[in-house]
Amino acid sequence: MKSAIITIGDEILIGQVTDTNAVWIAQELNAIGVQVAEMVTVSDEAGQITDTLNRYIGKYELLIMTGGLGPTSDDLTKQTLARYFKSKMVTNQEVLEKITSFFKERGRSMIESNLLQADVPEACKVLMNNHGTAPGMWFEKEGTILVSLPGVPYEMKGLMTGKVLPEISSKVVVPDVVHRTIMTQGVPESYLAAMLSDWEQALPECVKLAYLPRPGIVRLRLTVVDKCAGEAEQILDVNISKLLDIIPQHVFGYDDISLEESLGELLRERGLSLASAESCTGGNIARMITSVPGSSAYYKGSLIAYDNQIKMDLLGVDGKLIEEKGAVCREVVEHMARGVCSYLRTQTAIATSGIAGPDGGTEEKPVGTTWICVVYGEKSFAKKYIFGGTRERIITQASNTALQLLRRLVLNNL
Q: How are beta strands 177-185 and 217-225 bridged, if at all? A: antiparallel
Phi, psi of 226 (to 5 degrees): 45, -110
Q: Which CATH architecture has domain 2-171?
A: 3-Layer(aba) Sandwich (3.40)
H-only helix segments in 247-302: 259-270, 284-290
Average pLDDT (316-322) is 95
Output the pLDDT for position 132.
83
Cα 35-40-45 angle, rounded to 5 deg = 140
- Average model confidence (pLDDT) across the chain: 92
Q: CATH code for 259-410?
A: 3.90.950.20
Tell which residue, 140, 136, 133, 138, has the closest CA to residue 149: 136
Output the pLDDT for position 109.
75
Residue 288 has pLDDT above 70, yes or no: yes
Output the pLDDT for position 115.
80
Q: Which residues have a Cβ under 8 Å from the Cβ of 159 and sit 6 or more positions away?
A: 127, 129, 136, 149, 150
Output the pLDDT for position 126.
94
Output the pLDDT for position 108.
75
Of 95-99, 176-180, 401-405, the least confident: 176-180
pLDDT tens profile 23-38:
999 989 987 888 899 9
276 in helix, strand or coil? strand
Q: Three-state secondary structure along 289-334?
A: HHCCCCHHHCEEEEEECCCHHHHHHHHCCCHHHHHHHCCCCHHHHH
Domains of the chain, by residue range, sit at: 2-171, 177-254, 259-410
413 in helix, strand or coil? coil
pLDDT tens profile 352-363:
999 999 999 999
Output the pLDDT for position 170.
83
Rounded CA separation 126/150 (Å): 13
C-alpha 50: how far from its chain's center? 32
Average pLDDT (379-383) is 97
Output the pLDDT for position 69.
84
pLDDT tens profile 161-192:
999 999 998 876 666 778 899 999 999 999 99
- Model confidence band, residue 117 (pLDDT cutoffs 50, 70, 90): confident
Q: Which CATH architecture has domain 177-254?
A: 2-Layer Sandwich (3.30)
pLDDT tens profile 49-80:
999 999 999 999 999 999 988 776 667 889 99
Average pLDDT (215-243) is 87
Output the pLDDT for position 120.
92
Choose between 21 and 112: higher pLDDT: 21
- Model confidence band, residue 95 (pLDDT cutoffs 50, 70, 90): confident
Choose between 107 and 373: higher pLDDT: 373
How does DSSP assign 154-191, residue by residue? HHHHHHIIIIIHHHHHHHS----EEEEEEEEESS-HHH
Query: 92-96, 177-181, 293-297 — which one is most confidently predicted on average?
Result: 293-297
